[in-house]
């Protein structure tokens, strides 16, 4: 049986709403290092151990533009990801590891083209669709300090925020 990447790594603690770090824009990565690759492997472990399909560095208390995603097509590791093209629309319910017991119906692009650096610092430009595209958009939102509750109408957001205090 093949071991999943990251299984031998420790897991990081999840940062949960209303932690301030989730609400701010993260810093660009200037240099890709072994330490950064190790952090990404640990993020993958953390994502799997929490049954997630994506994780942004800000969700584990790291103020950098790093995202890991595995929506069924294998592990994607992205540094400084930027969506350069969006096509189509799709509406779906989304949850978030950092916003427990909350589901929000969100309209997103069905297909996205993303420019990013891979874990070796190589410049990439790839197009994603379906659940992978949705997960990438969700994680990039995190890098910009945006959460799923920000898609709610203000009154539903207030009710949800009140509820989250007791989760």
Let me know if residue 37 belongs to a domain: yes
In a domain, 112, yes or no: yes
* pLDDT of amino acid 2: 33
In a domain, 122, yes or no: yes
Please list the active-site residues: 139
Using DSSP, state whether 60 is helix, strand or coil: helix
Q: Give the model confidence (pLDDT) of 101-125 as tens digits.
A: 999 999 999 999 999 999 999 999 9
Let me know if residue 15 belongs to a domain: no
The answer to whether residue 9 is domain-embedded is no
Q: Residue 38 and residue 166: Cα distance in Å, rounded?
A: 34
Return the C-alpha torsion angle 136, 142, 148, 153, nearest 10: -120
Domain membership of residue 11 (yes or no) is no
- Structure tokens that stand for 57 in this block: 């560095």
Domain at 144, CATH number? 3.90.45.10
| Number of domains into which the chain is organized | 1
Task: Specify if 48 maps to a domain.
Answer: yes
pLDDT at position 128 over 60: yes
- Domain enclosing residue 128, as ranges: 20-164
Cα 32 from Cα 34, distance rounded (Å): 7
9 pLDDT tier (thresholds 50, 70, 90): low
């Amino acid at each position: 049986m093949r071991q999943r990447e990251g299984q031998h790594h420790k897991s990081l603690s999840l940062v949960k709403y209303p932690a301030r770090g989730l609400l701010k824009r993260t810093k660009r990565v200037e240099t890709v290092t072994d330490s950064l690759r190790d952090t990404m492997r640990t993020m993958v472990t953390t994502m799997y151990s929490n049954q997630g399909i994506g994780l942004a560095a800000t969700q584990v208390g790291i103020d950098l533009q790093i995202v890991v995603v595995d929506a069924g097509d294998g592990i994607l590791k992205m540094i400084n990801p930027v969506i350069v093209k969006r096509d189509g629309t799709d509406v779906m319910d989304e949850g978030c590891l950092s916003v427990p017991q909350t589901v929000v119906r969100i309209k997103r692009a069905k297909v996205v083209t993303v420019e990013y650096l891979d874990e070796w610092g190589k410049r990439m430009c790839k197009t994603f669709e379906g659940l992978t595209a949705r997960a990438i958009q969700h994680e990039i939102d995190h890098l910009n300090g945006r959460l799923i509750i920000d898609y709610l109408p203000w009154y539903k957001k207030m009710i949800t925020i009140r509820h989250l205090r007791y989760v």
